[in-house]
Structure 1
Amino acid sequence: MILIARLLHSIDCFLIKYLNYLIGAFKPACNISITFSDGKTRKKVPMKKENGQTVMIPLFQSQENIAGKISIEPVQGKKVEHNGIKIELLGQIEIYFDRGNFYDFTSLVRELDVPGEIYERKTYPFEFSTVEMPYETYNGVNVRLRFAITVHLHQLTIMEVGIEDCLHIEFEYNNSKYHLKDVIIGKIYFLLIRIKIKNMDLEIRRRESTGSGANTHVETETLAKFELMDGAPVRGESIPIRLFLSPYELTPTHRNINNKFSVKYYLNLVLVDEEDRRYFKQQEITIYRQAETS
């Protein structure tokens, strides 16, 4: 069974300009590397990447222990502020003609660190014991099955809403993944105000998709509407946000369940001016069920 070590670390920043979405990403403020405890002695096999290059990856069998170390090193002169660090072992199926939708059949998570700051290179040991790998890795013409190790370094997420030379608002919230009883904490910053805002709301929306291709049917419903502001803000003003999820009838996020349906959740920031024109920014969040402790 082949395990592909994969590291993901990105920060996304979103800008609405005349209600057109422009998506960009900051350069990461740190370098993340992974080493396996028996990396020097473990057998490796070749695998061809999408760009045609061949790389050597470690070979694991089902029921083996997977252990090693994660190293996080800030870029010179920078510090890394984070809301927690996790490592996840994923077993994943990807259908090439349906890019962006993955079926996760295995997901094991280990907490590496609590929220804090990293000023210099820091190393975290990890171990997944007796890992069940029900399928072999496969790279085909139309489908790929893989096992991957992913490092999640949760940093503050920032959404920007703007109309050039008229309105610029920054919405900072603490995470993009929440459990069903969690609290969304954030803050709204008014950087530029040249239009008369009447009110501002934060909504939780659920989008349910069924079917596939031309037969896809999508229903969106607003489950919660939280008033953030009633009246005109001034430049430099900030508004704290504290939205409890427990009062609402939420379910965990479901992604491409048996190729039949998906359920996704979004935070929708809505601003209304005195002429009832609406400005908004929508950001997907992941909701999960927290394991109960005895």
Structure 2
Amino acid sequence: MAVLLNLVQGAPIIDIYLDGLDTRKTARFNDKQQGLIRLPVYSDDDDISGVVDLRMNKNKKIDHLGIRIELIGRIEILNDQKQSSDFMSMGRELDAQGILLEDKTYKFTFNKFEKQYESYYGKEVKLRYYLRVTMNRNYGQVKKEIEFAVQIVDKEQENQPQTSLKLEVGIEDCLHLDFEYFKSRYHLRDVVTGKVNFYLVKINIKYMELAVIRKEQIGQGNNQQTDNETLVKYELMDGCPQKGEVVPIRLFLSGINMSPTLKNVSGKFSVKYILNLILVDEEDRRYFKQQEITIYRKK
């Protein structure tokens, strides 16, 4: 009877409102399930606070077993929910068991909560933070969730000295070149710069391009799964180069949908970035050389 009454009258309505959203930075994420989303960003020692509004929704009274808010960090493996798990959970009691006779507002604060990992929304895995309010009742629960993002400035990477990356590509008596990236570590708004030196060219090269590949690695050891996604391709050269020619490399990262490099996050997944230099000849044969780089967030 109580369940039927709840269906007729409607469940109580819960809304969560975060403080200071009008001045807080936001970030866009491409979520495989929700599409493009924009979330408020919390970093460093930021608190998260706000209010929970509970509306009766035509109910004259509501019996409940308690109302609770939780801050949750969760890793979701999209093709295998059994591997998904929470890596953090903090809770606050908003109201003890009782009876509500009118709309009510509750304030909440999580002071300087731990920000161990950065938010990530990828093809096969996502790491997300959210607040969840739960009203427990004798005949079920009423829940409301709201997501937010965590971004982490990597001061250690920022202060480390840079090293260049230099590699050779050769096909005996046909092609010999080397390429150099002037840095091995890049912040998210950085520019990849370098050069390609041609020492021997006896094949008809049609064009040369540089691609940025994101590599998601899920799981460990023999059970590890890898997904490669090309984020951008940029043409460096059109036509066949001459012996002794030097082609400059210049690729802006700021317009690419990237996260920082993530290594063995909670034993669940890693995210790596690869620079892939590709040569294509007149017969559409492809010659390529890949080099892993480190991406980090700068303040």
TM-score for both structures, normalised by structure 1? 0.47
| Higher helix content, 1 or 2 | 2
> Greater RCO between the two (CA within 8 Å, min separation 6)?
1
TM-score for both structures, normalised by structure 2? 0.47
